[in-house]
Amino acid sequence: MSVATLYFDELFAGNDDPWAFRQRWYERRKRALTLAVLTRPRYASIFEPGCANGELSAELAPRCDRLVCCDTASAAVALAKTRLLGYAHAEVQQSRLPEQWPSGRFELIVLSEVCYYLDADDLCDLIDRVVASLTDDGQVLACHWRPVIDGCPQTAEQVHALLDQRLAMPRVVQHHESDFLLDLWSRDGTTVATHEGLR
């Protein structure tokens, strides 16, 4: 069974940063690496499910023309909206995935620390929705904590293996550490050097 919304509501009860995204060097460094693996300087549209309090969202916003974020916890949605106030092209929705998927197509979908909360059936459904809403040159970025999380139905390894199998597109960046997995898949398989005519 996927983790219930109540779990996230309780995390945000009286705490605007339950994972210490702002304080921990681990989190700040991981965000920098996440942004660094993106092979394009700018994207037409980005979707970030499970945006939490919007720390990563605020760094994705300057890299796109349209940003859609969502979270299942109402407190997280309110925090992310506040964090993104300076970006008119960003919107934050309260929704439960995979069933409440946003409309439109996206050039980049960022799955950061969200997929291991889903059971196998919901994750397969989510990946199918990802594939259906990607543009023809779309990309998927996934980043997940490797140690087992109590109460989560999946591990990072299980999540990234299933993503690789069901996305069925070239993986253009792979950065794995003992703490987390970070992968980028791209429909066109183009590297930065190829895109800039260096190869």
Contact between residue 130 and residue 140 where contact means Cβ atoms under 8 Å apart: yes
Q: For the segment 90-108, what is each residue's pLDDT rounded down to a tens digit?
A: 999 999 999 999 999 999 9
Enter the pTM of the model. 0.95
**Among 73, 187, 68, 61, residue whose Cα is nearest residue 135:** 187
Q: For the segment 137-192, what is each residue's pLDDT rounded down to a tens digit?
A: 999 999 999 999 888 999 999 999 999 999 999 999 999 999 999 999 999 988 88
Domain boundaries, the chain: 5-195
Contact between residue 115 and residue 2 where contact means Cβ atoms under 8 Å apart: no
Where in 31-188 does DSSP place strands (E)? 43-49, 64-71, 90-94, 106-112, 134-145, 171-176, 180-186
Q: What does DSSP say about strands 106-112 and 134-145: parallel, antiparallel, or unpaired?
A: parallel
Q: Given 3.40.190.10, 3.40.50.150, 3.90.550.10, 3.30.300.30, which CATH number is that of 5-195?
A: 3.40.50.150
